[in-house]
Amino acid sequence: MDLLTPGSGLIIWQLFIFVLLVLLLGKLAWKPILASLKEREESIQQALDSAESAKKEMASLKADNEILLRETREERDKILRDARTAANRIHDEAQVDAKKNADRMIEDAKSIIQTERNAALRDVKEQVAMFSIEIAEKLIKKNLSDDKTQKELANTFIKDLKLN
Amino acid sequence: MNKPFFVSRTSFLALFLIILTGVFTPVFGSDEAGQKESEPVNISEVILHHVMDDHQWHFADWLVLPLPIIVYTEEKGLDIFMSSKFYDHHKEVEYNGYKLEHNHITLVESGKAVFDLSITKNVLMLLITSGLLLFVFGSAAKSAKANKGKAPKGMQSFFEPIILFVRDEIVKPNINSHHVDRFLPYMLTLFFFILFGNLLGLLPGAGNLTGNIAVTMTLAVLTFLITNFNGKKAYWGHIFWTPGVPLPLRIVILPVEIIGMFTKPFSLMIRLFVAITAGHIVLLALICLTFIFGSLIVGFGSSIIVLFINLIELLVAGIQAYVFTMFSSMYIGMAVEEGHDH
């Protein structure tokens, strides 16, 4: 039957053209298309990989940040605490110092006042003594111009002596 | 975003047109039957005429495309002329000492068959299919080069998924990954040649290229040759000294294995030929019902059935391309497999 007998002419044409087609398409079509497909697949894979690694990096960065933040916070607290205690200490010391200073100053002032006072008293005493002597001198000079008065005075002294 | 939509729309349009042809095929056929109204139509002759190769392209009685005849004989040497020389108003006549009878050219004097290298209907279909393949995938490759690193466009975006399907679903599962790149061009060409041939063959008036046994035989033989020329030690060892089988059985298995070498391509050849030719015969037989009954209602009914058979044929076109390529890669994959213990 003709339907089942392959025609020799068609076989030759088919063989020739098909082999040519394989070679031509292989060179002109499949090579660039497959290359571009492969390239695209690789670039997609690369993009996915880099996205994944970026995600990981991000996560680790976030964790780092958190640790850093926590550390910073702790440090801040510590610094604050230290500062507060230091301030307190300084404050206390200053208070003590000030008190001491004040006390000393008061003490000094007191002693100065005492010495001044003493000196002044001495001065006054001397002056009074001087005045008294002068007055006495004058009185004596005036009173002792006569004997009676001298005698009276001597008696008075004697009286006083007796009383003492 | 716009372009792929356009492509899918055009492909749908193409699909729609193919479906429509199913409806209109009887219209083309009616020309033939119209003239032979008085004599009964020889259905089997009409059908066979449609599925077989021809030296001229007969669209309708008033539209015949003459094709070049190329013949060689020892006596007369090479001769090239148009097939219209064999016809005088649809009557077959002798020309230049050659006679065309039932598609066979013989010498009038000796009755000897000539070596016929004519551009027949199927050869022209072969050229059209190949040209279309070159055009389609050439432009796909061009846009692949132009769009390097960008999203695919146009023809490229339509065919890339199919190429990927062939690569990842047909070739890669069957052929060891070291050899995939070597056989992929052949497999892709095979797949798309059969697919395009099948689909073009469904067009009204088209030649039945992939349903021709010469074509399927050539493809099967190519697969056979590639299989055996690439056969590794393990492959031949499996054929001639099947491992893991008791000694007396090995001798029994040997001829079976050798026969198996040839039944594989034989099944490839027959499967494609039968699937496509049978589909065409079914379609034509349904259309011919109209002329058997000579009734408009039957014609309408059978046209509707033909429409659905045409849809099935579209499916078959894809399936056969897939199956041929898959079995080819399986056979080749088995041949190139490096030995491993059973």
Q: What is the pLDDT of residues A98-110, one digit of tens each?
A: 999 999 999 999 9
Residues B342, B340: Cα–Cα separation, whole Å: 7
Tell me the nearest-neighbour CA distance from B144 into chain A, angstroms.
6
Residues A153, B5: Cα–Cα separation, whole Å: 153
Q: Please determine, for residue B81, whether its predicted confidence score (pLDDT) is greater than 60.
A: yes
Task: Provide the residue type at B65 as one letter.
Answer: L
Chain B contact set for A2 (CB, 8 A) = 48, 52, 102-103
* B 211-270 residues with CB < 8 A to A: 212-215, 217-219, 222
Residues B216, B232: Cα–Cα separation, whole Å: 26
Looking at the complex, does the CB of residue B134 fall below 8 Å from at least one CB of chain A?
yes
Q: Which pLDDT belongs to residue A7?
A: 82
Q: What average pLDDT does the segment A115-125 reach?
A: 89
Count CB atoms within 10 A of the CB of residue A32: 19
Comparing B247 with B340, the larger pLDDT belongs to: B247
The answer as to whether A46 is a domain residue is yes
Tell me the nearest-neighbour CA distance from A54 into chain B, angstroms.
22
Looking at the complex, does the CB of residue A41 fall below 8 Å from at least one CB of chain B?
no
* B 291-310 residues with CB < 8 A to A: none
Q: Which pLDDT belongs to residue B272?
A: 95
Query: Is the Cβ–Cβ distance between B335 and B230 less than 8 Å?
Result: yes
Q: What average pLDDT does the segment B146-160 reach?
A: 82
Q: What are phi and psi of B40, to 5 degrees?
A: -65, 140
Q: Which pLDDT belongs to residue B28?
A: 46
pLDDT tens-digit profile of B99-140? 888 788 888 888 888 888 889 899 999 999 999 999 999 999
Chain A contact set for B193 (CB, 8 A) = 18, 21
Comparing B13 with B255, the larger pLDDT belongs to: B255
Mean pLDDT of all residues belonging to chain A: 88
Chain A contact set for B102 (CB, 8 A) = 2
Residues B141, B147: Cα–Cα separation, whole Å: 10
Number of CB pairs, chain A paired with chain B, less than 8 A apart: 127
Q: Which pLDDT belongs to residue A65?
A: 92
Chain A contact set for B138 (CB, 8 A) = 28-29
The answer as to whether A145 is a domain residue is yes
Q: Which of B16-25, B94-103, B317-326 has the highest mean pLDDT?
A: B317-326
Domain count, chain A: 1
Q: Please determine, for residue A132, whether its predicted confidence score (pLDDT) is greater than 70.
A: yes
Q: Which two tokens stand for residue B246?
A: 């008791």
Distances (CA, A) of B309 to B287, B303, B305, B306, B317: 11, 10, 6, 5, 12
ipTM at complex level: 0.83
Comparing B195 with A147, the larger pLDDT belongs to: B195
The answer as to whether A100 is a domain residue is yes
Confidence label for B6 from pLDDT (cuts 50, 70 and 90): very low
Least confident of B149-153, B180-184, B260-264, B307-311: B149-153
Q: How many CA atoms lie within 13 A of A107 on its CB side?
A: 6
Q: Which pLDDT belongs to residue B96?
A: 80
Only one residue has tokens 């022209």, namely B124
Separation of CA B278 from chain center = 12
Tell me the nearest-neighbour CA distance from B193 into chain A, angstroms.
9
Tell me the nearest-neighbour CA distance from B150 into chain A, angstroms.
8
Give the structural domain span for A73: 33-155
Chain B contact set for A37 (CB, 8 A) = 160, 163-164, 167
Confidence label for B5 from pLDDT (cuts 50, 70 and 90): very low
Chain B contact set for A6 (CB, 8 A) = 212-214, 217
pLDDT tens-digit profile of B42-66? 888 888 888 888 888 888 778 888 8
Tell me the nearest-neighbour CA distance from A50 into chain B, angstroms.
17
Chain A contact set for B214 (CB, 8 A) = 6-8, 10-11, 14
CB contact under 8 A, A9 and B117: yes
pLDDT tens-digit profile of A32-69? 999 888 888 899 999 999 999 999 999 999 999 999 99
Q: Which pLDDT belongs to residue B19?
A: 54
Mean pLDDT of all residues belonging to chain B: 84
CA-nearest of B112, B100, B15, B107 to B53 is B100
Task: Provide the residue type at B92 as one letter.
Answer: E
Tell me the nearest-neighbour CA distance from A65 into chain B, angstroms.
37
**Hey, is B218 helix, strand or coil?**
helix
Confidence label for A1 from pLDDT (cuts 50, 70 and 90): low
Rounded percentage of chain B residues whose pLDDT exceeds 90: 37
Q: Please determine, for residue B2, whether its predicted confidence score (pLDDT) is greater than 70.
A: no
DSSP state of B85: G
CB contact under 8 A, A33 and B118: no
Q: Which pLDDT belongs to residue A143?
A: 67
Q: Which two tokens stand for residue B16?
A: 């729609």
Of B130, B140, B222, nearest to A29 by CB-CB distance is B140
Separation of CA A87 from chain center = 10
Give chain A's largest Cα–Cα span. 203
Give chain B's largest Cα–Cα span. 71
